[in-house]
A and B are shown apart, each in its own frame.
Chain A
Amino acid sequence: MTAHPTRDELLCMAFVDDQLDDESRREFALRLAAEPELAREVTALQRLDLMARTAAPPEPIELAWQRIEAEPLQSAGVTLGWVATVAGAIGLLAIALVGFWDARIDLWQKLVVSLFLGGLTLVFLTVARRRWRSRPFDPYTAVKR
């Protein structure tokens, strides 16, 4: 946002602060559905509003968590642990797939199982894509406690 807000930026602020009359609000809501940039601007303002509403002084335990998480031993342990876990999971999956294809079962049975697993993977990927692409429009991820 610049020092001199544009008309759209002012409209976004008025929308978030609930200062638009009913007709203007409806018109703006229609634009929000069609203009992702405008929706992103509104989400950023909602995020600020939420942060102001839920802001709380840090608790001693939160400061302790931040201190501990910043320690090299802790952060290296967490990073290494996750890398090993993910790499191991991928390896296990590969072993399971190779074992499955080497199994002494008919080809059609292998294809049916592959179809099922492939379908599940596709559904998961589409759900993950939906979440990934809609995340910028979810201001509630900014709430801490």
Chain B
Amino acid sequence: MKQLLFTTDDVPGRRIGKALGLVRGSSVRSRHFGRDIGAFFKGIVGGELDEYTKLLAEAREQALDRLADEAREMGADAVVALRFCGTEIAAGAAEVLVYGTAVTLED
């Protein structure tokens, strides 16, 4: 069963059984050089750099899947207090870190 992911500290309508601990997922991704050139020119004229919007979305979804995998390994039903953060390791790369608390839910 896929884990439920919540940014809230509890799960509305459900009671938390046990807190299993911290779970996290991270991802650092980059586009290829050609896309960087396209983004460079778009940066000159303005508007959305959709190459990087897609890049960030890819990193976000991969990090979320890694967090969910870790929660599954721990036997969690849900992850609460989910948070995202990002930083920059390399120019033109997106790093997304997502973390939260894995919990079990009571029926």
Which residues of A are interface residues toward B (Cβ below 8 A)? 17-19, 50, 53-54, 61, 65, 82, 140-141, 143-145
Contact = CB atoms under 8 A, between A and B. Distances in A.
Interface string B40-51: 000000001010
A53 B72 contact: no
Interface of B: 1-2, 29, 34, 48, 50, 53-54, 57-59, 61-62, 72
Contacts of B34: 82
B63 to A, nearest CB: 10
| Chain B interface, >50% SS class | helix
Nearest to B47: A61
A18 B58 contact: no
Contacts of A50: 61
5 residue pairs, one from A and one from B, having the closest CB atoms: A140-B58, A143-B57, A143-B58, A140-B62, A145-B57
Contacts of A82: 34
B57 A54 contact: yes
- Of the listed residues A18, A19, A61, A82, the one surrounded by the most CB atoms of chain B closer than 10 A to its CB is A18
A144 B54 contact: yes
19 contacts: A17-B2, A18-B1, A18-B72, A50-B61, A53-B61, A54-B57, A54-B61, A61-B48, A140-B29, A140-B58, A140-B62, A141-B58, A143-B54, A143-B58, A144-B54, A144-B57, A145-B50, A145-B53, A145-B57
